[in-house]
Amino acid sequence: MARIWRRLRPRGVCAYVVCMGGLCSLCTLIVILRCSCDGQSSLLTQSLASQNNALLSPLSPVAVQLPSTYLVVLIMTRPTDASLRRTIRKTWLKLSSKGPEIVRHYFPIGTKNMNADVLLTLKQEQETFGDDLLLMDTVEEGYGNLAPKTLASFVAAHRRLAFKFALKVDDDSFVRLGALLKSLKDIEHPRLYWGFLDGRARPRRKGKWREQEWMLCDRYLPYQLGGGYLLAWGLVDYLARNADLLKMYRNEDVAVGAWLAGLDIRYVHDPRFDTEYMSRGCSNQYLITHKQEESTLLAMFENLRTSGNLCASEFRTRGSYVYDWSAPPSQCCIRSNDSRIP
């Protein structure tokens, strides 16, 4: 037996060594693969979490290094209204002495299918006045495209600037810019939607502003009237992220109200926004007054410069209202000639 054992022992030892070596190699391979998979799984999990956070949470204005401002003013204008733009630059845009870290402005203009001579004129204006035209080659100008133009303007501002608030205003509106900034400081909110709110308007079925696509209900959802309204960054961010999913309507202010409906919004109705389809008159309390001639913009600026008042004399052509939040939207807005309501 001893001889047999001496004869077999070397072979057994060799077999044992081979087996153990193979087992160790297998274990090492498993550990390496497991670590690699865990690392990839961890990176994938982090990546998905990052994407989900980006989709579900509003971007912080400092998330991307962009030029920053407190308020960006988007002044809707037509390509041929160069004279009106010059008047705005030398009147109410000068009513705040704050620098670009507080206020920046743009005149959004769609250039899709635009006449070459008109486009050349706009580019010359752009060079003259320092890049304040927001030229958008995906938007064609026209009354039927006001909602796409407004949305594209928000998207373009979102890509260009880090801001806290965006004011959309028409170029036939006069804005008491300094007073508006001061009032904004008092009502700041991360989901602010500020303007003159309407909740009882019926969709138009005839005429230039007929709404053929409106099917949500027999009245428009509450919306801030289009002569001028303000959105917080978080709401602009939401619109920019979901632009491809948003349904277009004929009226841009109606469209914005519908797009934001259902969100956790801070609605603020302010009678100092004279932003309906026709002006209610002139009040020294107005922050924005709509449907003004170019000559009136100049006169209002001169009034403010010389007397501190917007109006040479105050007057009223139609009643205003305070929004009744206790009533259904269809009963929200009972007009009154009470002089205490601007």
Task: Kindly report the CATH number assigned to the domain that includes residue 91.
Answer: 3.90.550.10
Strand 288-289 to 174-175 pairing = antiparallel
Could you read off the pLDDT of 266-315 as tens digits, one per residue? 999 999 999 999 999 999 999 999 999 999 999 999 999 999 999 999 99
**Would you say residue 51 lies in a domain?**
no
Residue 12 lies in a domain: no
Tokens of 40: 């990839």
Confirm whether 131 is domain-assigned: yes
With left for phi above 0 and alpha for psi between -120 and 50, is residue 331 left, alpha or beta? alpha
For the cut 90, the answer to whether the pLDDT of residue 198 exceeds it is yes
Residue 23: inside a domain: no
Number of domains present in the structure of the chain: 1
- Asked, for residue 37, whether it belongs to a domain, the answer is no
- On whether residue 337 sits in a domain, the answer given is no
Question: Residue 267: how many CB atoms within 10 A of its CB?
Answer: 19
Q: Which residue has the tokens 């009963």?
A: 331
Q: What is the pLDDT of residues 216-258, one digit of tens each?
A: 888 899 999 999 999 999 999 999 999 999 999 989 999 999 9
Range of the domain at 205: 68-312
Q: CB count, 10 Å around CB of 322?
A: 15
In a domain, 152, yes or no: yes
Q: Which residues pair with 162 in a beta bridge?
A: 68
CA atoms within 13 A on the CB side of 106: 25
| 83 domain residue, yes or no | yes
What pLDDT, on the 0 to 100 scale, is given for residue 63?
A: 52
